[in-house]
Structure 1
């Protein structure tokens, strides 16, 4: 039962193969098994690749199964249409497009399996790429808010400098009137005289201005800090909103690119393995000598070709004979006077009827 199934997978004619030896049957069963297991690997590879796209196991299995059937049909077609010739060069020329197709199929099958085999290494590369993208994303979003934040910080610094400058001038006035009272500066007289009172009034006025400035600037600084806090909140919200896009950066294309950043030799080795599996049925048919199955298949094709050629020649002879007979019959009829006179009489009657009908039509129109 298993042998019959694998023979079906090989695309061989089971009717012809039934009359061959067991060795011939086993050869084509082995070719069919290779075709079947290649399609099975294609199903697994496609299901995994599509799962990274759809994130749905049922859809991935369904489309992976369709892809496996497609690869099975292609491989079966490639093997079944490769026929043994009397010259190896002709066989190789016949197999060259099929080998090229097998190489393409091997690439398509091996790539998803490489991604599964090196999944941990690919995840590490993707993690590094995600971290880089996260930092770059934060920098890009910060460019939208940083100018406003810098402007607000500059305004706060200016307001604080105004207060600090006013404090320095007020402290200077304080030192001046204290020095006047102690007789160290100004009039050099100890005591609180008119000059002391004048300098004290200037200090008190400056102190009042300082207190008012502190209150006004404190309110302005609080408003600026509130704006900075709001901008920071918006910035964090923008970063949080865009982060899921970066976290989802693990699709099929991202994984293929991450795979390309890994050392090439292991991937190339896996590709060679699948290339060997995919081309093995073709190579077996090319290298194997012409067996009983090939001879019987060639005999059947020759019988069909001969039968078709005979039928075509027979129809051509019938057509040629029929044409000659018709020419002879009609040429003899054309030479008989009675038939000529009869056809002339009928033509004259027809012309009279046409003339009478035309005359009646003209009279009716008048």
Structure 2
């Protein structure tokens, strides 16, 4: 049962192969097994690749199975269409397009499995890229908010400097009128005289201005700080909303790009392995000598070809004979006097009828 299945996978004619030796049958069993297991590898590779895309096991299995069947059909077709002609050069030229197709298939099959084999290394590369993208994203978003925040901070500093400057002015006036009262400066008269009152009033006016300035600037500072807090909140919200996009940056293309950043030699050897698997049925058939199956298949094909050519030649000869007979028959009829007299009589009657009809038409007009 298994032997018949692998022979079916090889694309060989089972009716011809049944009359060949067991050794010849085993050769095609090996070719069919290679085709079958190549399709299994294609199914596994495509299933994993599609799982990274859909993140759904059932979808990955379904589409992976379709891909595996497609590769199976292609490989079976490639092997079954290589004919053993006895000329190595002709066979290689015949197989060249199929070898190119096998190389393409090997690349397609190998790449998803490389992603799985080097999954840990790829995850490390992706982690580094995600961290770099996170920092770049934060810096990019910050560029939208930083100028306005810096402007507000500058305004807060200016308002605080106004208060500080005014406080220094009030403190200076305080020291002046106290010194005047103590007699250590100004008029140097001890006591609270007219000069002291004047300086005290000036200080009190400046103190009132300071209180008003503090209230006004405090309100402005509070508004600016509230705006800064809102901007920082918007910044944090935008960072949080964009972070899932970066966190999910591990799709198929991202993994392939990460794989390309790893050393190329291990991936190259994996590709060579799958290339050897994929081209094994082709080269197995190319290097194998012509066997009984090849001779019988060639004999059957030539028999059918000769039969078709013979039928075509017979149809052409039959057509030529039929044309010759028809020409001879019509030539004899052309010289028949009885047929001539009959057609002459009928033509005369037809002309008489036309003349009578024309006469009646003209008479009715008149």
Distance 1:161 1:292 in 2: 104
Residue 71 of structure 1: aligned partner: 71
- Root mean square deviation of aligned Cα: 1.5
1:265 paired with 2:265, answer: yes
Residue 182 of structure 1: aligned partner: 182
Residue 57 of structure 2: aligned partner: 57
Distance 2:80 2:363 in 1: 81
Q: How does 1:1-366 map to 2 (within 5 A)?
A: 1-357=1-357
Distance 1:314 1:158 in 2: 111
Instruction: Detail structure 1 runs of 4+ shifted over 4 Å in the superposition.
Output: 354-366
Distance 2:64 2:89 in 1: 37
TM-score of the two chains, using structure 1 as the length reference: 0.96
TM-score of the two chains, using structure 2 as the length reference: 0.96
- Closer, same or farther in 2 for the Cα pair 1:48/1:187, shift >3 Å? same
- Closer, same or farther in 2 for the Cα pair 1:161/1:119, shift >3 Å? same
- Closer, same or farther in 2 for the Cα pair 1:351/1:235, shift >3 Å? farther
Deviations 1:86-139 (CA, angstroms, capped at 9, x unpaired): 211111111100000000000011111111111111111111111111111111
Distance 1:28 1:260 in 2: 38
Deviations 1:63-97 (CA, angstroms, capped at 9, x unpaired): 11111111111100000000011211111111100
Distance 2:126 2:143 in 1: 25
Deviations 1:285-306 (CA, angstroms, capped at 9, x unpaired): 1111111110110000111111
Name stretches of at least 5 consecutive residues in structure 1 with no aligned partner: none
Distance 1:326 1:358 in 2: 40
SS of residue matched to 2:250? coil
Distance 2:364 2:266 in 1: 102
- Closer, same or farther in 2 for the Cα pair 1:102/1:338, shift >3 Å? same
Please report how far the alpha carbon of residue 363 of structure 1 lies from its aligned counterpart in structure 2 after TM superposition: 6.1
Please report how far the alpha carbon of residue 47 of structure 1 lies from its aligned counterpart in structure 2 after TM superposition: 1.1
Distance 1:164 1:294 in 2: 105
- Aligned pairs, number: 366
